[in-house]
Structure 1
Amino acid sequence: MTDQFGTITWWGFTPALDLQDTDTISALNNLKLDTDEGKDTLNILLVGAGDIRHILQTIARSYRHKKRKLHFYIIETQCELYCRDLLFMSLFLELPNRMGLQEKAELFLELYGNLLVRQQSMEYVQKMSNELIKMVTDFDYLEKTLPCIDLSQLKFKERDFMEGIFKFWRNPDPKFFDVEKMWDLRLQRDLGVRYDTRDNVFDWDYHMRLVEREGDIIHAREYKNWRKYGIAYEPREGNYDVPNRTLASGVLVKHEGERLAKRGYWGDMLVSPYISFGIHSEDKTLFKKNNNMYAKMSWHVSEFNILSLLHEIINKEKYVPPQTEETKENKTATITEITEEEENEGDNTEKTDSTETASQSNPAKDEYESLPLDDVKITFLPVMSVADLPRKSKYKKLFDIIYFSNSLVHLLTSDLTPIYADTATIIAESARYMLQLKDEKVGEFFQKVKGIAEKAGCQVYEVDEPAKQNYLKFTYRRQQAS
């Protein structure tokens, strides 16, 4: 029915990119592109990214670059991915007085990569489902609450389908999505006779596949725990026993000669959610080693990166962890005596502050409100509508950056060149972390994509060790009529 990669891409198989960074939008020979100068709006098309990691990173770091508007266009393979994108954008843009950065980061990671979550996490999804239903069915409400999102290009049937997905999310009955059983049945089918020795299989995949692809910041314990139970992040102590309905999708299966839709977990069971946010970071202290082993794990890196993005979106400055600030400001410790009156006064103040915070951060009675993103627009295009874009005049020469996932890079053909700007950057996700492929197959994938890009009129640059590239980057320059 499906292999270990699944039929739907819930998370990316390469790290998040800042799409305005010169290392991203410049060709591999550091060619300066027109997209980096003289344009007020950068139009970016994301084809099959699977999540919004690139959007989040690009928005969060936009203050580091020339001020201009960012317009993202998203095309995915299934409506469930649009629903997750909306949920995570809503979560990221929650007002600070409704939810703190730490809580946002923990909730995001939990919903992003866990098959099972805490009860309070699914209660948040259920509450937001009501808001999201109003957004997809009432564009006036969407404009009021989440104005950076544009759903007007979606077909009516797609918006109806999304409404049905949100209604499924808010249904608390666990019998409709017995995800633990689904996960175990897929393990049995994928591993076959190796199922009884699955711990050894997971250990071999980790050491002989993942670590060899430079994924050793991912700790063996966290990777094997995810392979066995589908739980990648446990940021807080608690019971992770509620099915994460946002990871439910449907496939068509044959039964007695008929094709029937079956809901289940049909995503990745091999690579893991850690790749997107958990293997690279600007904070190099996270990668310190003791006795040739990393002191931190991938979930620490992921948490720091998400906190950084949340902080930068709000404050337009780099994130510095609180303990680092304290270390800088308090280089010496002093001991002072606290009187009984002062202690009581402090207790009363603390209780008052906590009560006020609790009352401010309780969103149950209020309509959803979002942080303003004045220079950002995110347009959702119809599912798998790439081939339709060149036939519409409004997309002619529009896109400065075009991103393809490794599963949809075959769509990079000469038929799409009418929608490229006169000078454009094309980014293709590599197969580096597709762990079922051997190293030579990863290199062959690069050569295949290179051939596709050349046929499409793109300029391709040779790289050393293509099997170790996260992304394959090309430039397109339209020939001007003489």
Structure 2
Amino acid sequence: MSAGRASEGAGCVPWWGFSPARNLLSMGPDQSEEEANVLLVGSADPRHMLKTIAGLQDEQGLHVYVIENSMEVVARQLLLLYIALIPQEVMGMNEKTEVFLELFGNGEIRSQTFENLQRAASELSVSVTETLEEAANPCLDTTLLKFKDRDELCQIFKLWAQTSSEHPAPIRMSAAWDYRVRQHLGTRYDSRKGCYDWDLTMKLHTKG
């Protein structure tokens, strides 16, 4: 497989990271009584942040700054964090878990999950252009972004909030996925099930 074909097939926008989730506060000096400042570059998803938040003590403070090469990845991280931080009295733990995992890993989602996506995206599209006090969640601060980046985020969230009938050119996810697989595997496309099994066993299992 040529490098160009592999790059086009895999794409240049990472949706998932390939390292285990880490508690960021356990990887540096003891900061149990201080506010910690952490910079994440190219983490692709919020796994480290969620792992760290889960291990926070009541008196600990945490500021995480995120740098990604694509605003779509930033928008996705904001969406997943927003879902994860919804209070339990608003969305039950079981429902939240199902919605989070479906948005995290699926290309096609249920109508119920799409309604949650629309609601979250609508709130986020407003909050990125407003002050922190009016944000969808006070833990999600986009005020340090440039105005053009915040405008781009807003457009991404508005796109996610659209219904299929409102979208000028609805995307058929199955067709898009098939195209990407063909580009990625090339002549091995007809043996794709075996390729998937090989990658799962020989690559992903060793990383997980």
For residue 179 of structure 1, the aligned residue among 163, 173, 176 is: 173
After superposition, residues 304-343 of structure 1 pair within 5 angstroms as none
For residue 162 of structure 1, the aligned residue among 144, 153, 157 is: 153
Q: 2:88, 2:195 → 1: CA distance?
A: 44
> What residue number does 2:109 align with?
117
| Aligned alpha-carbon RMSD (Å) | 2.0
The 3-state SS of whatever aligns with 2:162 is: coil
> What residue number does 2:139 align with?
148
TM-score by length of 2: 0.87
What is the deviation of 1:42? 1.1
2:88 aligned with 1:96: yes
What is the deviation of 1:4? 4.6
Aligned residues: 199
**1:413-462 deviation per Cα after TM superposition (whole angstroms, max 9, x unaligned):** xxxxxxxxxxxxxxxxxxxxxxxxxxxxxxxxxxxxxxxxxxxxxxxxxx
The 3-state SS of whatever aligns with 2:90 is: coil
Q: 1:84, 1:103 → 2: CA distance?
A: 19
What is the deviation of 1:188? 1.2
Distance 1:190 1:70, change over 3 A: same
**The structure with more radius of gyration:** 1
Gaps of 5+ in 2: none
**Which structure's residues are more often helix, by fraction?**
2
> What residue number does 2:22 align with?
17
Q: 1:105, 1:157 → 2: CA distance?
A: 33
After superposition, residues 284-433 of structure 1 pair within 5 angstroms as none
What is the deviation of 1:75? 0.9
2:78 aligned with 1:82: no
**1:62-107 deviation per Cα after TM superposition (whole angstroms, max 9, x unaligned):** 12xx933111111111111221122122211212121111111111
Q: 1:92, 1:138 → 2: CA distance?
A: 21
TM-score by length of 1: 0.39
Distance 1:7 1:127, change over 3 A: same
Distance 1:69 1:120, change over 3 A: same
Give the letter for the 2:84 counterpart.
F
Q: 2:110, 2:54 → 1: CA distance?
A: 28
Q: 1:195, 1:91 → 2: CA distance?
A: 36
The 3-state SS of whatever aligns with 1:36 is: coil
For residue 189 of structure 1, the aligned residue among 164, 183, 194 is: 183
For residue 7 of structure 1, the aligned residue among 9, 12, 17 is: 12
> What residue number does 1:42 align with?
36
The 3-state SS of whatever aligns with 1:89 is: helix
Which portions of structure 1, spanning 4 or more consecutive aligned residues, are displaced by more than 6 angstroms?
none
